[in-house]
Amino acid sequence: MRHRLALIALLIISIHAYGQHKPAFSINYGLKTGFSSTIYDVDEFTILHTPITEYTSHSEISSFYTGFVRFNMKRHYLQTECSYNISKYSISFPIKEWYPVTESQESSAIYTKITGIEFPFYYGYHIIRDGDYGMSFFMGPKAKFVITDISNHIFEKLPFSNVAETIHPINFSLMLGLGINISPVFFDFSFEYGLHNISDHFDATLFNGEISQDLLVFDRRKNVLSFSIGFMF
């Protein structure tokens, strides 16, 4: 009888010890939405082979809608997302930048709206984890697949009768962010750094009928500041 009691006690102690030391692993699902502001780093900007150096950038508030899965491992987690994203941006510059002899004080402008599906994948670490409250840091890569049919560009007061831009179909970037959660509700603040030029080329037609892909060059990398609110289940 004593041997049986000792065996049962040993079994209970072993189960308790395993429960204390086994790795915590869980999966969460969630939805979030938010707003973003796109800022471009301009690497090269020329019209008719003339460098455009005086310009003003205009970042418009854009939106995104995201579903995600999070794999938790104690204080660490991996998260993958699928996001529908709309980004808007415009740039304006004096006509005299590309046509120096003009007396016009008007400005030319390029408006860009890029719609796509984004797939971020990042690593996160809980800096603070106290009951229902927490703060985490996260970082990782993101790929954006551009939906060409519903993306568009508007060109105003340029020396072309027709302009069309081809954006690279897949754009890559790196994300850094900070998340704050209160029970199932969380807030994310993130910065996205573009890794390459998003513009493939412009097809531009002069009024005399000349067509070229180097009459307009607007090479730029996309940087994005984002804020989102979501729920985790």
Residue range 135-148, pLDDT digits in tens: 999 999 999 999 99
The answer, yes or no, to whether residue 216 has pLDDT greater than 90, is yes
So what's the pLDDT on residue 20?
47
What gap in Å lies between CA 226 and CA 192, rounded to an integer? 8
Exposed/middle/buried for residue 27 (C-beta within 10 Å: 0-12, 13-18, 19+): exposed
Query: Residue 118: what pLDDT?
Result: 98
In Å, what is the CA distance from 25 to each residue of 28, 72, 80, 108, 148?
Answer: 10, 5, 16, 56, 40
What value, to the nearest 5°, has the Cα angle with vertex 39 and ends 96 and 93? 5
Look up the CATH architecture of domain 24-232.
Beta Barrel (2.40)
| 3-class DSSP assignment, residue 102 | coil
**Euclidean distance between CA atoms 220 and 45, whole angstroms:** 8
Convert the pLDDT of each residue in 80-115 to its tens digit: 999 999 999 999 999 999 999 998 999 999 999 999
Q: What is the DSSP string of 163-199?
A: EEEEE-SEEEEEEEEEEEEETTEEEEEEEEEE-S--E
- Position 183 scores a pLDDT of 86
Q: Provide the pLDDT for residue 14.
A: 44
Measured between alpha carbons, how far is 103 from 156 in angstroms, rounded to an integer?
18
Q: What is the pLDDT of residue 3?
A: 47
pLDDT of residue 21: 46
pLDDT tens digit sequence for 10-47:
434 444 443 444 455 799 999 999 999 998 999 999 99
Which residue has better confidence, 210 or 112?
112
Amino acid letter, 10: L
Whole-number pLDDT of residue 9:
47
